[in-house]
Amino acid sequence: MTNTKFNLYFEGQISSLVNNLLIVTTVFIFALSAIAKAENRLRYSLLTGNELDRNHTELKRLPPSSNVRTLPYRKGSWGLVQEAKYLITNEDNVALMVIQDGAIVFENYKRSSNKDTKFLSMSMAKSLTAYALGQQLCDGRIRSLSDPIGKYAPDIAFTFYKDVEIYNSLRMASGHAKPTEHGHTIPKQFQKLTKTNQIEMMDLFRVASQSAPQGTKFRYHGHDTASLERVIAATARDTNMVDAFSRNLWSKIGAGNYAFWLTDRNGTPLSFSGFYATMPDWARLALWSLERTKENSCLGDYMRQATSKQSKGRIENDAPQGRGFDGYGFQTWLRGEQFWWVGYGGQRIGVDPNRNRIVIVFSTAPNYMKDIFDLMDY
């Protein structure tokens, strides 16, 4: 074969190889795009609880208030509104609200969501569980946060939680073994929230193990929250954490719609992840929390403690929930003077007592934190 023929043959082979690679790459990119879109649809389906509410039996509804709290609207500053408009343009963000000085200055919904859509808390429920426990303390049902959990929750006394102080579970310092990815210590099948009829929450404690003395390590996971739920249930008049939450907190915010907790097949709520409420009612919950931090009362003292640094808040496994925060209170993330409720997958509620500002965003991906911090700090 002459050099010319060889070169032509070689060039033809290279051209064919390049074309084949382009075809394979294009198919691969389309496949990845299809997978990403399917995952996004699944995340959206889970984030918005309307379908789940219609078809799911393992949930406990909380009724709206007979005295609904009005959420006033007023015009916000031009710069603040522009920052909010920029944030909601992120394709993964589904709903956004900004409250300034007690009034809504920006509100926007995308896709099929609206004011009546029930949005999933994921780990924002951890903060609500901690605040519900505060009222149990102030009512005298819990003597001291220094008490061991086993004093109130004998059903988990077979675990190391028997001797863990309530205070240490509140601040994610029980000494539980290093958490798995994203702070979820529960097996994968437990993460399928739409199939909670297959879950028994006590299974969490059957696999619980301690690898550090309590009070020495910050380790973010769901076991500590679940142990607090057991304390609330055991000290509630209703022997049920959801009813205690409804009495201690939900009934006091002036809710305009009903909410619900996902439960296991025995009626035990997913206290670390399974709460659904509308955007306006999430706003009422945030306003209630902000107002309690300024209140001169037992619960006010507790809420100031809950929203101040009790742990360093450094996540050992670099889960996205902890990025950008510099401390941890009672099941609550901290950033300077701000306190944040944070859910895996893109749910965020930030409260800034100094600016008297609240930012609420529901998303299908947590890829916007710098932007939400910019909005809060504007």
- What confidence tens digit (pLDDT) does each residue in 336-356 have? 999 999 988 789 999 999 999
**According to the model, what pLDDT value does residue 201 have?**
81
**According to the model, what pLDDT value does residue 177 have?**
86
Measure the CA–CA gap between 241 and 261, rounded to whole angstroms.
Answer: 10
CB-count exposure of residue 354 (10 Å: 0-12, 13-18, 19+): exposed
Measure the CA–CA gap between 314 and 217, rounded to whole angstroms.
Answer: 9
Tokens encoding 209: 């193990």
**According to the model, what pLDDT value does residue 185 have?**
40
Q: Mark out the alpha helices in the chain (DSSP H runs).
A: 3-47, 50-55, 78-88, 124-138, 166-170, 202-206, 223-235, 241-248, 279-293, 298-306, 369-377
Task: Tell whether the model's pLDDT for residue 100 goes beyond 70.
Answer: yes
Distances (CA, A) of 173 to 89, 220, 328, 340: 38, 8, 11, 19
The fraction of the chain above a pLDDT of 90, given in percent, is 56
Out of 94-103, 185-194, 311-320, 369-378, pick the least confident.
185-194
pLDDT (average), residues 230-246: 89
pLDDT (average), residues 212-227: 91
**According to the model, what pLDDT value does residue 365 have?**
77
Task: Tell whether the model's pLDDT for residue 191 goes beyond 50.
Answer: no
**According to the model, what pLDDT value does residue 190 have?**
41
Out of 124-133, 186-195, 350-359, pick the least confident.
186-195
- Count CB atoms within 10 A of the CB of residue 191: 14
pLDDT (average), residues 88-94: 85
pLDDT (average), residues 177-187: 51
**According to the model, what pLDDT value does residue 36 have?**
42
Tokens encoding 117: 């859509």
Out of 6-20, 163-177, 257-271, pick the least confident.
6-20
Which is more confident, 34 or 232?
A: 232
Out of 124-133, 200-209, 244-253, 352-361, pick the least confident.
200-209
**According to the model, what pLDDT value does residue 117 have?**
93
Per-residue confidence band for 16, with pLDDT thresholds at 50, 70 and 90: low
Tokens encoding 102: 């007690």
The fraction of the chain above a pLDDT of 70, given in percent, is 76
By C-alpha distance, which of 334, 370, 364 is closest to 350?
334
- Count CB atoms within 10 A of the CB of residue 376: 21
Task: Tell whether the model's pLDDT for residue 5 goes beyond 70.
Answer: no
Out of 70-74, 218-222, 276-280, 298-302, pick the least confident.
218-222
Out of 111-125, 166-180, 265-279, 304-318, pick the least confident.
304-318
Domain boundaries, the chain: 1-47, 50-377
pLDDT in tens, 19-55: 555 554 444 444 344 434 444 454 555 566 655 555 5
Task: Tell whether the model's pLDDT for residue 376 goes beyond 80.
Answer: yes
Run of H or E residues at 51: helix 50-55
Which is more confident, 49 or 100?
A: 100
Highest mean pLDDT among 176-185, 195-204, 345-354: 345-354
Tokens encoding 212: 């550090």
**According to the model, what pLDDT value does residue 129 have?**
97
Measure the CA–CA gap between 255 and 69, rounded to whole angstroms.
Answer: 7
By C-alpha distance, which of 285, 361, 348 is closest to 108?
361
Which is more confident, 265 or 50?
A: 265
CATH 3.40.710.10 for the 50-377 domain, yes or no: yes
